[in-house]
Amino acid sequence: MDAFIIQGEKELKGEVQTSAAKNAALPILAATLLFPQKITFNNLPQISDISFFKKILESLGAKFDSNSVDTSDINKFVAEYDLVRKMRASILVLGPLLSRFKEAKVSLPGGCAIGSRPVDIHLESLRQMGAEITLEDGYINAKTNGLKGKHIYLSFPSVGATENLIMAAVWADGETIIDNAAFEPEITDLISFLKSFGVKIEGEGTRQIKIQGMKKEDFKTVENFSYSIIPDRIEAATYVIAGLITNSEITVNNCNPGHLDTVINTLKVMGAKLEVGYSSIKTFKSGRLNGTNMATSIYPGYPTDVQAQLMTLMGLSFGSSIVSEHIFENRYMHVPELNRMGMNIKLDGRNAIITGVDKIKAAPVMCTDLRASAALVLAALVAKGETKISRVYYIDRGYEKLAQKFAGLGASIERVKDV
């Protein structure tokens, strides 16, 4: 297991490139199961969640050749526990497998321990479309005589359930309407990908998505097809917060600021000086920011995936802040670690009450989930002394070349072997 050693109190400067979005790449990789042809990606992020997901697709019979995949020869419909347990997003193979092959067996997923994260909405909606689903020995067994288009109302606009249903609807008979759908930018990207193959979809960016099921005879191979995935808004936000927390001037390039409106507004309310361009965000030296209150919410609200990073900034701001986490019930695992470094954060159910301190000190800390780990890196960048962050494999799941990118901005960060 590797660790990061970070010497704090270094000013950052320069530019950093945003990578492609993990949360768009995963469902789009799952969607390759729908079409029997070669598909090339221009910018798959080099992160371990993508490597895991490729392994799952390979175990089903997909053939990868560098950044191309061909799912013409899928010959297995079982996503095994050993692969799936590492990542909740594995559930995304269920919809496309059922749609194209009429059967799927997927281990109940694992992933970061940030909450119980059931998949009831996925399963209930697929049942409405005509899937017979049973749970046995930790596996979801699903089969169908052919999915049927239905009008489905989601009890909660789950990102994964919306994606699974959109993919399930591609080869279903007739029209599927998803009401109370999630409309995160990553879902819109999945829809753009599907549209490239002639799937008729309306309503992206709204709470109602309509998908017309395709007929096999309507499918035509798209020659030399390549696809570019949208930039990772969570990664971009993490670097913007890094610029602010270190009181530095940095430019985060190749991002889509339009996907970060709520984060940018929250930072501005705190006093952040930012220059928002068409595809870049520049931070200016803004000094110590002011605390504020923030509640996570579904898009376009404040993203839960940038909660931990913002809390780190709040922990060093003037006055007090309150964060309310409404998406996941156990997403405060960074709090004890940040407190070990000298922050003053108290938990009360879904709320975190943060009393800003003016400095923090290095301490050995441990990653517990992907975004909590990013928060620890941010804290280490400003802490006095040398911070050792253990178990950085959590960071590898979702941040491409994080140590290199921060080193490029002038941070003192080194990856070492840990026991």
In the stretch 362-401, what mask flags binding to ligand UD1 with x, by CB under 6 A? Answer: ----------------------------------------
In the complex with ligand UD1, which residue's Cβ is closer, 26 or 377? 26
* The one among 38, 86, 88, 405 contacting ligand UD1 by CB under 6 A: 88
Stretches 56-64, 116-124, 219-227, 282-290: which one binds ligand UD1 (CB under 6 A)?
116-124
* The one among 16, 25, 56, 119 contacting ligand UD1 by CB under 6 A: 119
Q: What part of residues 316-335 is at the interface with ligand UD1 (CB under 6 A)?
A: 327-328
In the complex with ligand UD1, which residue's Cβ is closer, 28 or 411? 28
How many other CB atoms sit within 10 Å of the CB of residue 225? 16
* The one among 18, 19, 23, 387 contacting ligand UD1 by CB under 6 A: 23
Cα 389 to Cα 11, 244, 373, 419: the distances in Å are 20, 21, 8, 12
Residue 292: enclosing H or E segment and its boundaries? none
Smallest distance, ligand UD1 to C-beta of residue 175, A: 23
In the complex with ligand UD1, which residue's Cβ is closer, 305 or 337? 305
57: Cβ contacts below 8 Å, ≥ 6 apart: 29, 32, 33, 64, 69, 71, 93
Q: Concatenated DSSP letters for 173-202?
A: BSEEEEES----HHHHHHHHHHHTTT-EEE
Catalytic residues: 112
Cα 154 to Cα 160, 208, 271, 369: the distances in Å are 11, 10, 38, 27
Candidates 199, 280, 189; CA nearest to 227 is 189
Angle, vertex CA 405, rays to CA 301 and CA 334, nearest 5 = 50
Residue 5: enclosing H or E segment and its boundaries? strand 2-7
In the complex with ligand UD1, which residue's Cβ is closer, 106 or 161? 161
Candidates 183, 258, 259, 168; CA nearest to 213 is 168
Helix axes 261-269, 307-315, angle to 10 degrees: 10
In the stretch 25-64, what mask flags binding to ligand UD1 with x, by CB under 6 A? Answer: -x--------------------------------------
Asked if residue 292 binds ligand UD1 (CB under 6 A), the reply is no
Smallest distance, ligand UD1 to C-beta of residue 356, A: 26
Smallest distance, ligand UD1 to C-beta of residue 88, A: 5
In the complex with ligand UD1, which residue's Cβ is closer, 153 or 156? 156
Residue 94: enclosing H or E segment and its boundaries? helix 94-101
Q: What part of residues 140-169 is at the interface with ligand UD1 (CB under 6 A)?
A: 156, 158-161
Asked if residue 117 binds ligand UD1 (CB under 6 A), the reply is yes
In the complex with ligand UD1, which residue's Cβ is closer, 94 or 366? 94
Q: Are the beta carbons of 209 and 219 closer than 8 angstroms?
A: no
Write down how long the chain is. Answer: 419
Q: Check residue 108 and give left, alpha or beta (phi > 0: left; psi -120 to 50: alpha).
A: beta
Stretches 113-121, 165-173, 348-356, 381-389: which one binds ligand UD1 (CB under 6 A)?
113-121
Give residues in contact with ligand UD1 (CB under 6 A): 23, 26, 88-89, 115, 117-122, 156, 158-161, 186, 304-305, 327-328
